[in-house]
Structure 1
Amino acid sequence: MDHATITLIVLGVVAFLFVTELIPVAVTSILGTLTLGVCGVLTPKETFSGLSNDTVVLFAGMFVVGTAMLESGLAQAIGRMVVKRVGTSEVPLMISFMLLTIIMSAFASNTGTIACLMPMVIGVCASAKIPATAILMAMAVAANAGGMMTMVGTPPNMFAVSALQERGLEPFGFFEFAFVGAPVAFISVFFMVFVGRKLLPKNDSDLGVLGNELTGSGSPRQRWTVLGILIFVIYGLIFGIPGLSQAMIAIIGALACVVTKCITEKQAYKGVDWVTIFLFAGMLPIAGALEKTGAGKMIAESVIGLMGDNPSDTVMMSVLFIISCGLTQFMSNTGTAALLIPIGISISEELQVSPYAVVMAISIATSCAFATPVATPPNVMVMNPAGLHFIDYIKVGTPLCIIGYIISVFIIPLVWPFNP
């Protein structure tokens, strides 16, 4: 059996176990990548490469900074201020945090945005005495949708620009993605307020898992120190610091929290959400195997083959959108874009249509990473703190993917005609 087939079988089993949760999701994730290692699809180094991935390290660092915010009482203090202005109702709080997340993730890393805001949201929910489940999920949705609005909002958009430039074509403008991204982002707010939050469990006992466990009894000195560390981390994640990666910035912030005695070493270890760490670290090598073995390309080419010799513009765009959206639920959205955008441009050239509509459809589709927790870092970051299950992402994410598809099919041909 060739490696691509083995990878597809493992992916199918992992998806089944994720949905049914017959065994814990983090265990499933590690078992999946370990199986690929045992079968020789991945090398021993590649099998555990996810544990040293920059994003996983970023997660760990930000969990510690978030714990310091909660233990020091900073998150709760911010929460009380927000509650005074917005109130204690779930809907106004959800709208406020979703809009803030959309704006931040349009210009900064969506992972960094969630990492910075999540402790504050937990503090707000603790102050307002409401479950954090729906608001945290709404923020993950907003982070993914907000990234669609600008060229730098998400890596697929930047890859789309680069791919067009490499072909000698005029690239998309900085805000050109917002023609589709903005409607998706703001309709996602209405969806979460009126539909999405009602599809999620009411984890009253959770209160974001952390809210009840942390008393926030730190001193004023500790709160001011953590605030200074948080400002450093937010600045670094959004604007960057020469010579430092995002992971390094997060770890510096985490170490500073311990060194300044804002939290103890034991509290730092306890604050790391190990389910998130192992879930994401396990899925990264599987996503890599899809690219390495050509399994992802096999899926793409097989489905594209179903279009026939002379597909209509709408059919072509729809098929590429569905493939891109489907793959990005289990693969890196950057990897999916890197795989499919060149294929999309080649198809457009062969059919003698403008490549812009095709490339935009693929870019938006790869950012519609709503339907699984492993589709994008923001999804997996909120999973355990919000007390969510794999099926919750399917319930909320699938309609959002359909909304993204409908908006794309309606708007893209109007803004970027296939036959200008």
Structure 2
Amino acid sequence: MSPAIKCLILLAVVALFFVTELIPLAITATAGAIACGLLGLIPAKQVFSGLSNSTVVLFAGMFVVGAAMFYTGLAQAIGNKVVHLCGTGENSLMFGLMVVGTVLSSVLSNTGTAACLLPVALGICSAAKIPASRQLMPLAFACGWGGIITMVGTPPNIIATGAMTAAGLPAFGFFEFAWIGIPVSIAGMLYMMFIGKHLLPKVELDADQEIEQEIEANSTDSKKMVISGIILLAVVIVMALGIKGVTLEMAAIIGALVCVLTGCLTEKQAYASIDWVTIFLFAGMMPVSTAMDKTGAGKLIAEWTVGLMGGSPSPL
């Protein structure tokens, strides 16, 4: 059996475990990398090469910088202000949640943004007797599409940028994703406001429903709120301007260090804020990607696809 076929079989097995989640995703990715080494698809020394990739450092730094916004209460304060300005009408509340979810998730964690806005939305829904499901689903979608606006909004954007750099091609700019991300976000909001809302389920909150804050702010100090906001803004500006001698990874890590040194979050909170599943998913799948390239498995897939669809495939 050729190395390319072995690699394709391994890829199919990994994909099966990803879909079924019979074992944790991070373990699947790491096991895939180890299997590549055991099968001789890549040299043994490259099995854990993904952990030394600079993109892993960028992930970690941005997770910490974004978490500082939540731990200081700044993200929650912004969410509260915007949502309360929109009132308690179903349409205006939906619009407000989607706007703030889109904007915050463009530079912060999608999951963290949804979590910090969750109690705000549930509290208003409970008081105004609005079906919670009709607000939470638009919020979830907004946090998803908001992440595609900037390079650091979601891990896939960072991975794509890292792949471009590794291939010796010009990397994507910080706001280059916005040319697609902003129109998609606007289209998504318009769809939800005029069409999607008619398809949403109606699930009422119980009168005694307990509403908890998913991410608790550990400080009410307004100075720390301002500091965390300035740090995030500074990191974004440095990344967007592409200052010579300051890489994306350096900007993210410097921002993370300053967040801890200024007390915006503790050292333990900084460690806890890193999404280790994302880290190990990326680090584990990088060697698998290398194996596909070296064994020719990627070329086989490309040739099969072109053979199936033709060189000039129909839009259908």
Q: Same fold (TM over 0.5)?
A: yes
Partner residue in 2 for 1:92: 95
Write the deviation string for residues 333-367 of structure 1: whole angstroms up to 9, x where unpaired: xxxxxxxxxxxxxxxxxxxxxxxxxxxxxxxxxxx
Alpha-carbon distance, 1:125 to partner? 3.2
Supply the distance in 2 between the matched residues of 1:241 and 1:9 (Cα, whole angstroms).
Answer: 44
Report deviation, 1:236.
Answer: 2.0
Contact 2:71 2:215 in 1 (8 A): no
User: Paired residue for 1:6?
Assistant: 6
| Contact kept? 1:79, 1:120, Cα under 8 Å | no
Change (3 A) 1:25 1:120: closer
Distance 2:22 2:110 in 1: 32
Residues 289 and 132 from structure 1, CA distance in 2 versus in 1: closer, same or farther, beyond 3 angstroms?
farther
Name the residue aligned to 2:43: 43
AA in 1 matched with 2:118: C
Separation of aligned partners in 1, 2:286 and 2:200: 31
> Distance between the aligned counterparts of 1:80 and 1:123, measured in 2?
10
Asked if 1:244 is matched to 2:249, the reply is no
Identity %: 40
Shift in alpha-carbon separation, 1:137–1:279, aligned structure 2, 3 A: farther
Residue among 250, 253, 256 paired with 1:254: 256
Distance apart, 1:8 and its partner CA: 0.9
What's the C-alpha RMSD, in Å, of the aligned pairs?
4.0
Following the alignment from structure 1 to structure 2, what is the Cα–Cα distance between the partners of residues 117 and 68?
A: 14
1:140 Cα deviation after fit: 3.3
Alpha-carbon distance in 2 for matches of 1:242, 1:7: 40
SS at 1:36 equivalent: helix
Output the CA distance in 2 between the equivalents of 1:266 and 1:282: 25
Q: Deviations over 1:194-245 (max 9, x none)?
A: 28x969xxxxx9x9xx952423434222212212211111212322222112
Number of residue pairs matched? 275
1:5-404 matches, cutoff 5 A:
5-87=5-87, 91-93=94-96, 95-97=98-100, 100=103, 113-115=106-108, 119-129=112-122, 135-144=139-148, 187-189=187-189, 194=196, 211-307=213-309, 316-318=312-314
- Partner AA of 2:121 in structure 1: A
Q: Which amino acid aligns with 1:18?
A: F
Deviations 1:59-96 (A, max 9, x none): 21111112221111111111112212345767324542
3-state SS, counterpart of residue 22 of structure 2: coil
C-alpha contact 2:95 2:189 (8 A) present in aligned 1: no
Q: What displacement does 1:17 show?
A: 0.6
Unaligned runs of 5+ in 2: 123-131, 152-157, 170-175, 202-208
CA drift of 1:30 comes to 0.8
Distance in 2, matches of 1:217 and 1:93, equals 26
Deviation at 1:306, TM superposition (A): 3.4
In the TM superposition, residue 133 of structure 1 has moved relative to its aligned partner by 7.2
The DSSP-based 3-state class of the residue aligned with 1:242 is coil
TM-score by length of 2: 0.70
C-alpha distance after superposition, 1:123-167 (max 9, x if no partner): 3334333787763554434544889xxxxx9869x99xx99xxxx
Cα distance in structure 1, aligned partners of 2:181 and 2:73 = 36
Structure 1 residues without counterparts, runs of 5 or longer = 102-111, 148-152, 164-174, 200-204, 319-408, 411-420
